[in-house]
């Protein structure tokens, strides 16, 4: 397995897909320049950052889904993490400074339907497909990250 790192950073003025940027400042409220249209269900301090694994995206593409990094609203696309072992309470360090704590598995919603064959967005439901969901994280320590930054597990 490759050294875990940030494959892509994605932001949006609202909605999906979120588009790639080379680097970004992460605050306790999320990524600078990233906004959510539905702040009742997305964003806020406990859902400041959405993460997803490139390996899961690639597996979904192999099933015929038109998904790509950022298309389901994730901010950080990871690679090299054992995604099935990510759990609530897990702490991750991104780059030199940023520390995140996983707070929840995301619930898929209809806004990401175009990333799935037949618009079957429930394909990434944690309840139906454990280990294939995106996750939300709160920011423990803010800072700047860039594509390629190393990701380290701090607790399990």
List pLDDT tens digits, range 136-149: 999 999 999 999 99
The pLDDT, as a whole number, for residue 39 is 53
Look up the CATH superfamily of 5-155: PK beta-barrel domain-like (2.40.33.20)
pLDDT tens, 42-93?
A: 567 889 999 999 999 999 999 999 999 999 999 999 999 999 999 999 999 9
Taking the model in full, what pTM does it have?
Answer: 0.94
Give CA–CA dist 42/14, Å, rounded.
11
Decide: 23 and 94 in contact? Cβ < 8 Å.
no
Helix (H, G, I), strand (E, B) or coil at 19: strand
Chain centroid to Cα 51, Å, comes to 2
Report the alpha-carbon distance of residue 43 to residue 50 in Å, rounded: 9
Query: Per the structure block, which two tokens stand in for 155?
Result: 């607790």
Domain assignments of the chain as residue spans, ordered by start:
5-155
């Amino acid at each position: 397995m490759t050294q875990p790192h940030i494959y892509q950073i994605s932001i949006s003025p609202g909605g999906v897909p979120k588009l790639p940027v080379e680097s970004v400042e992460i605050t306790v409220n999320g990524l600078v320049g990233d906004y959510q249209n539905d702040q009742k269900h997305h964003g806020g301090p406990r859902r400041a950052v959405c993460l997803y694994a490139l390996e899961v995206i690639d597996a979904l593409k192999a099933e015929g889904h038109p998904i790509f990094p950022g298309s389901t609203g994730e901010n950080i696309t990871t690679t090299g993490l054992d995604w099935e072992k990510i759990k609530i309470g897990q702490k991750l360090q991104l780059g030199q400074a940023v520390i995140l704590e996983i707070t929840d598995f995301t619930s898929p919603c209809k806004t990401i339907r175009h990333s799935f064959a037949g618009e079957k967005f429930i394909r990434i439901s944690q309840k139906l497909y454990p280990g294939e969901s995106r996750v939300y994280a709160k920011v423990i320590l803010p800072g700047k990250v860039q594509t390629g930054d190393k990701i380290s597990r701090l607790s399990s």
